[in-house]
């Protein structure tokens, strides 16, 4: 079994329902073992859009990295994600953050996710479910100390898939 971490985000429609639906679909091929709280996060990149709802999740899967990417993209398609603006609004985004300790770089897939260390909306939920993870030789907490700009609020109530 492969140990994988995901970041999920939504800022269109019923964002909480979108994330729960994506987790339900994900669980068809991934055993979802841990899910963070919901975090309301200020948009990073393209600013003129609603705040996002973000979570992190840990899973176990027998899929290969490429199969997993195909699968997460099929979830995005099923949930009718339409790509328009780069970094813009989306009903659902499912990013693969980590796949075991693998380093992967192909045309379609880069793992660890290339922008994860710059994004508090990724690292704050990830820290909640895996505080002991070491990324690029440093604890998540240490990476977060350098990222103070983004506004993030933990939503009350647990995200149970
Ligand atoms: N670790 C990864 N997880 C998900 N997609 C990845 C990953 N590495 C590379 N990709 C590629 O990134 C492409 C663009 O993904 P996507 O449209 O979700 O980007 P985005 O969400 O707009 O921006 P970002 O990648 O910065 O979150 C995908 O088609 C996929 O092939
Ligand atoms: N707060 C927040 N900002 C973003 C997000 C996201 O999930 N949350 N996703 C983006 C593209 O992947 C761009 N900007």
For 25-80, strand residue ranges (E) read 31-35, 39-41, 52-61
145 catalytic per annotation: no
Report pLDDT digits (tens) over 77-118: 998 766 667 777 778 999 999 999 999 999 999 999 999 999
Q: Considering every ligand atom shown, identify the ligand nearest to the alpha carbon of residue 42 and give its number.
A: 2
- 112 Cβ inside 6 Å of ligand 2: no
Please tell me the CATH superfamily of domain 2-154, with its number. Answer: 7,8-Dihydro-6-hydroxymethylpterin-pyrophosphokinase HPPK (3.30.70.560)
Report pLDDT digits (tens) over 108-148: 999 999 999 999 999 999 999 999 999 999 999 999 998 98
Taking the CA of residue 72 as reference, the ligand 1 atom at the shortest distance is 4
pTM for the model stands at: 0.94
CA 46 vs CA 43, 84, 85, 87, 96: distances in Å: 7, 12, 8, 6, 21
In this predicted structure, the answer to whether residue 22 has a pLDDT above a threshold of 60 is: yes
Q: Considering every ligand atom shown, identify the ligand nearest to the alpha carbon of residue 115 and give its number.
A: 1
């Amino acid at each position: 079994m492969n140990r994988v971490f995901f970041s999920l985000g939504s800022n269109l429609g019923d964002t909480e329902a979108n994330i729960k639906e994506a987790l339900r679909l994900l669980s068809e091929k991934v055993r979802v073992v841990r899910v963070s709280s919901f975090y309301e996060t200020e948009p990073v990149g393209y600013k003129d859009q609603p705040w996002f709802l973000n979570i992190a999740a840990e899973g176990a899967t027998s899929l290969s990295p490429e199969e997993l990417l195909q699968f997460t993209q099929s979830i995005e398609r099923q949930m009718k994600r339409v790509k328009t603006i780069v970094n813009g609004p989306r009903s659902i985004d499912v990013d693969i953050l980590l796949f075991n300790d693998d380093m992967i770089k192909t045309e379609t897939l880069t793992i660890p996710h290339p922008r994860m260390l710059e994004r508090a909306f990724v690292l704050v939920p990830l820290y909640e479910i895996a505080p002991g993870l070491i990324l690029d030789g440093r604890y998540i907490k240490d990476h977060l100390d350098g990222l103070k700009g983004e506004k993030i609020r933990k939503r009350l109530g647990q995200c149970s898939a």
